Amino acid sequence: MRPVSARHTVRLGVRAAAAAGLLTAGLAVPAFAGEQTDQLWIQAPSEQKLIPGSTSEGSPLDIGLYHDNDNFAVTDGRLSVDISGIAGVADVTWPDNCAPTGTTAVCTVPEVPVIGDAYSSQVHLTVRAADGAATGAQGRITYAAVATGGPDGTLEAPHDSFDTTVSVGSGPDLSLGEIAPVKNLQPGAVRTVPFAVTNKGSERSEGLTATFTASYGLDILTKYPECTYKTLGDGYAPMSQATCSFDQVIEPGDAFTLPSPLRVALAAHAYAERLDISVEPGSGATDLSDEDNYTIAAFGAVNTADFAARGAQVTGGVGETVTAAIGFRNNGPAWIGNLGSGDPVAAVDFTVPDGATVTSAPADCEPRTLSGGHYPQRTGAPRYSCEMPYWALEDTTRSLPFQLRIDRLVPDATGRVMLTTGGSSPATFPFDPQPANNTAQLVLNATPTA
C-alpha cells in the first residue's frame, strides 16, 4: 500500500477512479469495526526531480507518519531515512527534528495522527542536485518507521514499502501556492480564490492545463472560454469540475494568473467545502516535480445538519418472519462529507429485540456480539453495526431492512437503533443541533394504545 498523495489529503475528482482501492491507497481505515487493529504508514512522494547545476535553495521533500485507527493514541514516531542511494545524485539538508549519522538519519514525530483534512507532513527535508550530477542521474531514498501505540503497544510500517526516486532532469516545473483556509462563512457567501502558478523549472512551459474540482456545497461562478465543465458523482459524493487549457507560454521564473479572478459561492447546504486545484504543463511536457502542482482552497460554512436515527414498529406471530426497515436520515439543511479521510459520516448501531432472530441483514451491516465484538455468522447476531457512506446529502435517507424471525412472543420487545461514530454511545456530531434524535427504537409487537 502506497501512502496518500502529497499536499496532505485526498484529491477530489480522483476518488471515483481510486475508491475501489480505498480511495487512493493509504487512507485511514474507519474505526467502526469491532476488531481493533491499527497500522503505521509513511507518507512520502514516489518521485522527486531536480534541476542540474541549480543555485537555488533546493526543493522541499516532505515526509510524514500516520496510522489507521483513531481509537488509539500513537506517539514517539521514529522515521528512519537512508540517503545512501542518492550519493553523487543529490545532497540533503536535514531539519531540526532529524538526527543524521553518515547517510542515515532518525527523525522524531512526537504525535502520529490519522489521515484527515488537518493532516500535514512532519519531516521537511531539502534536496538539491549534487555538484556535477548529470541529467538522467537518479537514486533512491528509503524509509522505515516505528511508533508507540496500537493494540500491541508498538506499530511498525511495512518493510521495503516506501521510497522516493530522486532524479536529475530538465524541464518546466509548475508550482501552485498554498491557499489559507477560510472559516465561519455564511451560506450564500461569495469568495475570490487566489490562484498563481510559477514556473520554477529550467525550461518554458508551453501553456498549461488547470483543473478545478468543487465539492457539492461549492459553486464555481466564474466561467472561462478555455474551460469545459461537467458534474461528477456516479455513486460517490457529487462534485463539479472545470478543466481548462491555457496557451500562454510561461518562461522559467515567470508566473501565470487567470484571465479574471476565480469566484466561488457557498450553497445553502454548504458545510465543509473545498476547491481542489491542479496544474500540469501544456503540450504533453512532464513536470519536473509535481508535488506542488496541487493545492486546496477550503471553506467552512456556519451551518447545521440534523442527523437522525430511524426506528420502526412491526408485528408478527411466533414463527413468522417480518421485515423491519430501520435507518438513517439527514434532515439538513447542510450536507456532510468526510472528503479528506473517507470515513463514514456515521454508523447505525442496531440491537436486536428480545425474542427475535435476524435471518437476513443488509450487506453494509456487520454482525456483532452484544458487547460489540466480532460475531462469526451473518445471521443470528444480537447486534449489528451498519456503516453509512462518507457523505450524506441534505435530504439523504438510508433504509436498512432487517428480516426478523419471531421465536417468542414478547410484547413491546424493543431494540435500540443508535447513530455512532464507532463507540458504544450515541454520537454527538459537532454540526448536529438535535442530538436527542440520534437514538430511536425498533418495537416488536407493541401493545395497542387505548
* pLDDT tens string 301-327: 999 999 999 999 999 999 999 999 999
Residue entry with cell 510524514: 64
Nearest to 220 by CA among 264, 176, 185: 264
Nearest to 150 by CA among 77, 99, 207: 77
Average pLDDT rounded to a whole number, residues 152-170: 92
| Pairwise CA distance, residues 64 & 69, whole Å | 16
Cell of 275: 476547491
Task: Check residue 115 and give its pLDDT.
Answer: 84
pLDDT in tens, 262-298: 999 999 999 999 999 999 999 999 998 888 899 999 9
| Pairwise CA distance, residues 28 & 65, whole Å | 12
CA quadruple 263, 267, 268, 269: dihedral, nearest 10: -140
Task: Check residue 33 and give its pLDDT.
Answer: 44
pLDDT in tens, 31-73: 444 457 999 999 999 988 888 875 567 888 999 999 999 889 9
At 167, which amino acid appears?
S
Average pLDDT rounded to a whole number, residues 161-179: 93
Average pLDDT, the chain: 90
Judged on CB neighbours under 10 Å (0-12, 13-18, 19+), 225 is: exposed
Cβ(311)–Cβ(330) under 8 Å?
A: no
Q: Per-residue pLDDT for 28 more than 50?
A: no
Q: Which residue has the higher pLDDT, 19 or 190?
A: 190
What element of type H or E holds 307? strand 305-310
| Pairwise CA distance, residues 95 & 85, whole Å | 19
